[in-house]
């Protein structure tokens, strides 16, 4: 089998049609250059160049082989460049899991930032609940999870990327919709649309704790998992709800969102989670981008941690 060095020698001679100039171009002397061409012709069992005292010409076989030789050299160089880029975390592929609500704001921002800084990478996005993300992280099916706490102790590295307040969602024609801000007591006295205890466990447990600490017992009229479904029911007049502030990005018609004053309030948190033993070279780079976005939003303060 021929070698890439022999292809480079052949291409140089074929383009210069002169052994002396080709040798100078390759920073070598003429005799070893001639030997490389002879070895290549023996390996191929074909004459590529017609030589005379006055000129060097390509044979028909040499003309055809020149096209393929250039292509092979280009592929080899591209492969080398890609390998170096992958090793440095500038190319390759990465699988990211995310919750539905994170797609309202943070996920698009992260993907856009990665596209700007890492234009050659392939990003595969998989929407799933937090518990499924933890399972897929453990099995290696995803490299990154964008998920809600709690995060189990183990071999996971995690840092918080968003922390947003909950806001009240009301029909636009509701009397409370005229207020600049509301109290938790205002919502507890209204028909209330609650989150499913299993499919939306994080938000369900968060609201249960909020109402419990305020000694309030809301009138739950529906239990739903998806925020857009909750907003649709709010729009229909079924009841009011508490949703994360990023729901404003949905611009749901017929629904207004108002801040809520609470004595005790815990923000809705989203964490960037990865396995500590995942050796995908892209992970540190994407994690750096995620940290940058979190720092801009002020969400990473005092929450950066490694879970051991």
What confidence tens digit (pLDDT) does each residue in 246-298 have? Answer: 999 998 999 999 999 998 888 999 999 999 899 888 899 999 999 999 988 76
Provide the pLDDT for residue 49: 92
Beta strands 92-98 and 121-127, pairing class: parallel
End-to-end CA, the chain: 52
Provide the pLDDT for residue 233: 97
Provide the pLDDT for residue 303: 38
What CATH architecture does domain 166-261 belong to? 3-Layer(aba) Sandwich (3.40)
Provide the pLDDT for residue 86: 63
CATH topology of domain 4-87: Arc Repressor Mutant, subunit A (1.10.10)
Provide the pLDDT for residue 54: 76
The whole-chain average pLDDT of the chain stands at 89
Provide the pLDDT for residue 305: 38
Residues 230 and 169: beta-carbon distance below 8 Å: yes
Provide the pLDDT for residue 306: 35
Give the chain's residues under pLDDT 70.
81-91, 298-308
Domain 93-153+273-307 in CATH: superfamily? Periplasmic binding protein-like II (3.40.190.10)
Provide the pLDDT for residue 90: 63
CATH 1.10.10.10 occupies which residues in the chain?
4-87
CATH 3.40.190.10 occupies which residues in the chain?
93-153+273-307, 166-261
What residue ranges in the chain does DSSP mark as E strands? 49-51, 56-58, 92-98, 121-127, 144-147, 156-164, 166-171, 182-183, 191-195, 219-224, 241-244, 255-261, 268-275, 305-307
């Amino acid at each position: 089998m021929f070698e890439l060095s022999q292809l480079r020698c052949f291409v140089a001679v074929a383009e210069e049609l002169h052994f002396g100039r080709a040798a100078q171009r390759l920073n070598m002397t003429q005799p070893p250059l001639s030997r490389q061409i002879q070895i290549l012709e023996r390996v191929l069992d074909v004459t590529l160049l017609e030589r005379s005292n006055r000129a060097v010409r390509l044979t028909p076989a040499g003309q055809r082989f020149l096209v393929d030789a250039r292509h092979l050299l280009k592929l080899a160089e591209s492969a080398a460049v890609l390998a170096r880029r992958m090793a440095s975390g500038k190319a390759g592929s990465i699988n990211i899991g995310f919750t539905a609500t994170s797609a309202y704001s943070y996920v698009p921002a992260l993907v856009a930032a990665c596209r700007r800084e890492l234009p050659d990478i392939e990003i595969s996005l998989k929407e799933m609940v937090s518990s499924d993300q933890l399972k897929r992280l453990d099995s290696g099916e995803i490299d990154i999870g964008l998920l809600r706490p709690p995060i189990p102790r183990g071999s996971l590295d995690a840092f918080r990327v968003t922390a947003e307040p909950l806001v009240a969602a009301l029909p636009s024609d509701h009397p409370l919709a005229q207020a600049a801000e509301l109290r938790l007591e205002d919502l507890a006295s209204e028909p209330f649309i609650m989150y499913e205890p299993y499919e939306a466990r994080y938000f369900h447990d968060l609201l249960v704790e909020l109402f419990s600490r305020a000694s309030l017992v809301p009138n739950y009229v529906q239990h739903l998992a998806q925020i857009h479904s909750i907003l649709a029911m709010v729009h229909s007049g079924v009841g009011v709800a508490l949703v994360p502030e990023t729901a404003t990005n949905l611009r749901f018609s017929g629904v207004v969102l108002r801040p809520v004053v609470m004595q005790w309030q815990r923000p809705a948190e989203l964490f960037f989670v990865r396995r500590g033993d995942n050796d995908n070279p892209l992970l540190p780079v994407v994690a750096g981008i995620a940290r940058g976005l979190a720092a801009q939003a002020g969400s990473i303060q005092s929450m950066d941690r490694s879970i051991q």
